[in-house]
Structure 1
C-alpha cells in the first residue's frame, strides 16, 4: 500500500515544480547551453528538485524551521547536480543563502556564477544587495572596501540594465556615500532622462544638492515639478529648503501645500509652525504648535517652542509652566534649560538665570578642552548670555570674565570674546579698559581685519583719531579690488560717521557699496547710509535707506528699531512706528535699546503708564544710557512727578559727561540741561508755595 502513496505524492510535487518552472522559466539567455553528452544534464530531474527546493524554502520561511531550510538547500544542490550549467538554479541557491542569513555562502555562490556567466544580472543583483546590507555593519577601512565592492556591482548592473531607474538611483547614492558628487549627479540625471516624472529621481537630486549646501539648486530641482503635480513630500522638502535659505514666507507656503495634500502629517505641521515663528507670526505659530502637542504629547521640542513664543509675548509665568511640563520629557535638553534662563532674565530673576546658564556651561564642559563645532557654538551662546546678564546688573568684571572663557574656543568665538569685553567696558564707560582690551585683541589676532577695525574705532573714539584712521586705512589693500576691502571701507566709514566727517563717511560707503554683491552685503550698506543721513537730520533720505534694507530682511530687529524710533522721536506715523518697534522687541525681548524705543513710542502716543513700564525695564538693563534717563525725566514731568524728573535729568547729564564725544551730541546735552533748569525752577516755585 505504500508504493502508490509515494508515487502519488511524487506526482503532486512534480506538478508543483512544473508550475514554478512556468512562472520562472529558465530562458535561453540564462539557462545552460544544450548539454554535451558528457554533462549528463537531466532537465526533468532538475525541475523536480527545483520544485521541492521552493516548497521547502516556503515552509522554512513560514514555519521558521531550520530543518526545512537545510532540506531546501539540499534540493537545490540535487537540482544543480542534474543541470550543473543552469544559471537559474545557481542564482536561486545564492538567493536562498542570502535569505537565511548565510552571507558568506551567498557571496561565494553568486561569485561562482559570475565567473561562469559574467553578465548574469541576478548574480550581480544579489552581490549588490549583500554589499549594500553589509555597509552598515562595517567600520573604517572595511566599510570603504565594502562600498567599493557595492559600487562595482551597481556599475556593472548599470551597464547590463542601462534603462533601469532604480539601478541608476542606487548607484548615484553609492557615489554620494563615496563623496563623488559629480558621478552621483550624473547618475541621478541619467535616471531623470529615463523617467522625467519620477519623484524619487527629483528627491535624490535634491538631497545631493542639500548635502553640498547648494540650497538654491535644491529649490530649483524641486520647483521643476509643476505646482499642481507636486506631492506632499515634494512640498515638504521645498519648505525645509526655504528654511535653510531663511525665506520663511516661501517656506510657509510650501508647508501649507504639503498639509493640503496630507492634512494629518505632523512633520509638516511642525515645519509650518517653525516657519511661522521665524516670520514672527507668533499667534498662528502658537496655535499650530499646540495642535502638534495635542497629537503627540511626548513632543518636548514643540513644547519648548510654545514656551519660547509665550516668552516673546511677555507671558513669562506661562512660559515657565510650559517648560516645567516639558522637562520630564527632556531632562538634559540644552535648549529647554537655555529658554528657562531667558525667561528668568526677562522676569529680572538674574541669579536664577545665571545659575541655570552656569549649569549649562558645566554640562557642556570637557576637561581636555576638545569640543565639536556644535559644542563650541553652544558654550559660546551660554557664556555670551551670562555676560549680557552681568552687564545688565552692572557687574562688569563678571561679564568680562565670562567673555574671556569664549576666547579658547577659537575662530570667531575668540573674536567675539574680545569684542564682548570691549563692549562691556564701554557700557560701564571704562574707556581705558575698553581700549586695553581692544589692543590685546589686535595683538592676539594681527591678521583679523574685523579685530583691527574694532581697535581702530576704539582709538578714534578715545581721542587718538589719526592713529585710528591710519589703522583702518591700512586694512585696505593697495590693489583696491579685494573682497576684504569692502569691510575695511565700511569700517572706516563708521569711524568717520562717529567723528561727524560726513563727506569722508559717504566716500567710504560708496567704495564699500561698489564691492557689495549679496543682498546681505547691500543691506548693511543701506543701513549705514540710513544712519549717516539720520545723523545729518536728513530724515526722508534716512527712511528711504532703512526701507531698502528692510525690503531685503523684513525681520531685522536692529533696523526695525532704528526706523521706528526715528519716526516716533519726530512724532511721525506713530502707529507704524509702534508696529515696527513691537516687532523688534518680540525678536529680542531683553534688548534695553528696543525697550526704551517702545516706551518712547508709547509716550509719544500719550500712553504714559506703558511708556514708564518699558523705559524702567530698559533702565534696569542699562543704567548708564543718558537717553533712557532723559526719557524717564520726560515721563515723570508729564505725569506730575517733578522731583523724580529732576533726578533723572541730573543722572542723564552725569552719564553724558562720562560718555564718549561721539555719543554725546551737544544739542542733546543742551536740551537736557534746559529741561533740568526749567524743572528746578518749577520745583522751587512749588516748594515756595507749599511753605506759604
Structure 2
C-alpha cells in the first residue's frame, strides 16, 4: 500500500472501531521509514513522503484523541505534527494543522503562538487567521471585564482581515457584525449584516442578526420589517418567534399572537414560544387565553416559577386576590430570591387594601436592594425606582404625604433621569394632598437645579399657571418653545402649552398648540397622546362626538391604553349613554391597572348609572380609599348613599366633597359642578331635618 493510498483512507478513520485504529497505528509505525532509527534526519530539500507519512499519523492520533478524550493520543498527535514539520518545515498545511490541534486539545497559548507565527510568515493565511479569531472568540467569555475589551479588539482585527480575505463568506460577515455589536458599533455591525445579505439575500441567519441589532438599538419597527419581508411559507419557527417578539415591543399584540401561533404550528411543544404567546395575550388583555397557555406551560414544566408569577398576575387583575396569593406561595420555593415575585405580592396586598402589609413588603425590598456606597447598576436602579414609586403611591393613598415625599427623594438620589422622576413624584404627592405651596416650591427647586432641562422647565411652567401665576407660567412655556424650535423637543413644548391653555379654558389657543404638536409627531405613541389631549379638550367643551372620535383614534393605535379606555368609558357613563360599552371599556382599564383610584371611581359610577348600586358602592369605596382628596369621588359616593336610603352618609360625603372643592385648584373645580354638589347637600340636609322632626314628634 502506498503512502498516497494510506492518506486517502484517513478520511474514513472515524468509522473504524477503536481496536482497528490501534492496529492501523502500530502497523504504520512499524512500516515507517527509519522507524528503528528515531527522528528523521534533517535534509535541505523537503522530504515530502516522510512529511506526509507523519502527517497521516498525526491526523490519526488527533481523531483518536478527540473521540476518546485521551491526553496520550493528543501528545502523540503533536509529536507526529512536529516530525512532519521537521521533514517539511515550510508547509502551511502542517503549521496550520498543528496550531488547530493545540486549540482542539486546549493548549491555547501554544495555539496562539503557532498561529501568530504563521500569520507573521504568511499574512494572508486564512486558516491561521481563522484559528486566531476562534481563540479570541472563545476567550471572550472567560476573561475578566478589564481584559475582555482587549480580547474583543483582537477578535475584531482577525475577522476584519478574514472579511478581506474571504469577501464572499456569509458567516465571516455575520461574525464580524456580531463582534461590532458587542463593541457597541452599530453602524459597522449593520454594514456587515448588509454585506452578508448582499451575498445571500435569503439567509435566515442574516435576517435574524439584523433584526436583533435593530431591536437592541430600540428600533423594533425595522426589526419587524426585516423579518416580515421573509415570505410566510419560508419562515422557520425561529423567525416567527423573533417576529412575535418584535411585534410585542411595538405593542402590536395581535400580530405577535399570530406570529407565535405560526411558530407553534411548526414546532408545537416549544415552551419558549408558548411563553412568548402568553406574554402577547397578556398584553392584549386576553387574560383567560393567557391563563390557559400558562397553565399548560406549568403542567409541562412545574418548576417554571416565572409562569406561575404571571398566573398570579392574571388572578390579581381578575380580582381573585386569594388565589393570586396561593399561586405565589407555590412559586416561592422555586424562586426564593425573585424580586418580581415579592413585588407582585405587595401589589396583591395593595389590591386587598392591606396597606400595612404592602408597605412592609416594599420597605423590605427597598432595604434589601440598598447599597451602602450608593452605587447601583442600571438594572438595580430600575428595580429600586419601581419599588420606591409603588411604596410612595401607597403612602399617598394613605395620606402619608411626608413618607411619600421621602420615598421619592430616595428615587431622585439614584441620579440621571430618576432625579426628574423623583421630583415629579414629590410634586404629585403634594398636589394630591392639596399642598399647593409645597408643590410649587419643589417645582421651583428642580427648575433651578436643572435650568437647561426643557421638560423640567415646562413642568414648572404648568405648576405656575395652575397656582395663579398664569402670565409667568405661559411666558416660561413660550421661552421653552422658542429654545426648542426646530428640535425634537419642540413637540413637547407645544403639548405643554396646550395643556396649560386647556386648564385655563383658553380652548382655541389649546387647539392651535395641539395642531402644531400633531404636525411634529412621527411615532404612534406621539400621535396617540395628541389624540388623547384633543379628546379631553373637546370633552371640556362638551363636544362629545368629537371627543369620542379622538379617543377612538388613540385606541386604534393602542387598544390597551388604560387611560384612554377609562376616559372614554367614563365620558359615556357620565352621560348615561351606551352603558354596557362604557362598563366594558372601564372594566378593561381596571384589569390593566387594578390599583388606580380614578379607574375604580369610573367603574363605580358606571355601575351606579346602570342601577347596580351594590357594585357601585363597592368600587366607589375602594376609590375613596385610594384618592380621598378627590371631590368627585365623594360626590359619587354621596349619590349612591342617597339612592340606597343612607341619607346621613350621603350628607357626610357631600360635605367632604365641598371641603375638597374648596381646597382644589380653580382648574379642577368647575363652578357648575360645585353648585350641583352644594344643591344636593342642601336638599339632603333639609330631608334629614324633616326626618328628625318626624322622629321628635
TM-score in terms of structure 1 length: 0.90
Q: 1:586 to 1:87 in 2, by over 3 A?
A: same
Checking the alignment, whether the CA contact within 8 Å between 2:92 and 2:118 is kept in structure 1 is yes
Q: Secondary structure at the match of 2:333?
A: helix
Q: Within 5 A, what are the aligned runs for 1:493-642?
A: 493-642=498-647
Q: CA deviation at 1:16?
A: 4.0
Checking the alignment, whether the CA contact within 8 Å between 1:453 and 1:488 is kept in structure 2 is yes
CA deviation string 1:641-681 (max 9, x = no partner): 22222222222222222222222212112212222232233
Q: CA deviation at 1:108?
A: 3.8
Structure 1 partner of 2:75: 70
Of 369-378 and 312-321, more deviation after overlay is shown by: 369-378
Separation (CA, whole Å) in 1 of partners of 2:555 and 2:261? 25
Q: Secondary structure at the match of 1:394?
A: coil
Q: 1:21 to 1:653 in 2, by over 3 A?
A: closer
Of 594-603 and 95-104, more deviation after overlay is shown by: 95-104
Checking the alignment, whether the CA contact within 8 Å between 1:476 and 1:485 is kept in structure 2 is yes
Checking the alignment, whether the CA contact within 8 Å between 2:355 and 2:394 is kept in structure 1 is yes
Checking the alignment, whether the CA contact within 8 Å between 1:390 and 1:398 is kept in structure 2 is yes
Checking the alignment, whether the CA contact within 8 Å between 1:202 and 1:222 is kept in structure 2 is yes
Unaligned runs of 5+ in 1: 1-10, 25-36
CA deviation string 1:451-504 (max 9, x = no partner): 333333333333333333333333221785444333233222222222222233
Q: 1:145 to 1:689 in 2, by over 3 A?
A: closer
Separation (CA, whole Å) in 1 of partners of 2:85 and 2:250? 60
Match of 2:172 among 150, 157, 167: 167
Unaligned runs of 5+ in 2: 15-41
Structural RMSD (CA): 2.7
Separation (CA, whole Å) in 2 of partners of 1:601 and 1:149? 66
Match of 1:440 among 441, 445, 468: 445
Structure 2 partner of 1:379: 384
Of 616-625 and 590-599, more deviation after overlay is shown by: 616-625
Q: 1:20 to 1:221 in 2, by over 3 A?
A: same
Q: CA deviation at 1:508?
A: 3.0
CA deviation string 1:218-253 (max 9, x = no partner): 222212210111000001111112222232222211
Separation (CA, whole Å) in 1 of partners of 2:146 and 2:456? 43
Checking the alignment, whether the CA contact within 8 Å between 1:14 and 1:51 is kept in structure 2 is no
Structure 2 partner of 1:97: 102
Separation (CA, whole Å) in 2 of partners of 1:640 and 1:281? 39
Aligned residues: 670
Separation (CA, whole Å) in 2 of partners of 1:528 and 1:123? 63
Checking the alignment, whether the CA contact within 8 Å between 1:17 and 1:52 is kept in structure 2 is no
Q: CA deviation at 1:317?
A: 0.9
Q: 1:352 to 1:56 in 2, by over 3 A?
A: same
Separation (CA, whole Å) in 1 of partners of 2:429 and 2:263? 47
Of 588-597 and 491-500, more deviation after overlay is shown by: 491-500
CA deviation string 1:422-471 (max 9, x = no partner): 22222222222222222223222322333333333333333333333333
Structure 2 partner of 1:365: 370
CA deviation string 1:489-548 (max 9, x = no partner): 322222222222223323333333333333222222222222222112111121122222
Separation (CA, whole Å) in 1 of partners of 2:12 and 2:648? 105
Q: Within 5 A, what are the aligned runs for 1:106-255?
A: 106-114=111-119, 118-139=123-144, 143-255=148-260
Checking the alignment, whether the CA contact within 8 Å between 2:535 and 2:548 is kept in structure 1 is yes
Checking the alignment, whether the CA contact within 8 Å between 2:484 and 2:490 is kept in structure 1 is no
Structure 2 partner of 1:327: 332
CA deviation string 1:352-384 (max 9, x = no partner): 111111111111212222222222222222112
Checking the alignment, whether the CA contact within 8 Å between 1:18 and 1:47 is kept in structure 2 is no
Checking the alignment, whether the CA contact within 8 Å between 2:190 and 2:210 is kept in structure 1 is yes
TM-score in terms of structure 2 length: 0.90
Structure 1 partner of 2:411: 406
Separation (CA, whole Å) in 2 of partners of 1:686 and 1:140? 80
Checking the alignment, whether the CA contact within 8 Å between 1:456 and 1:469 is kept in structure 2 is yes
Checking the alignment, whether the CA contact within 8 Å between 2:240 and 2:262 is kept in structure 1 is yes
Q: Within 5 A, what are the aligned runs for 1:226-375?
A: 226-375=231-380
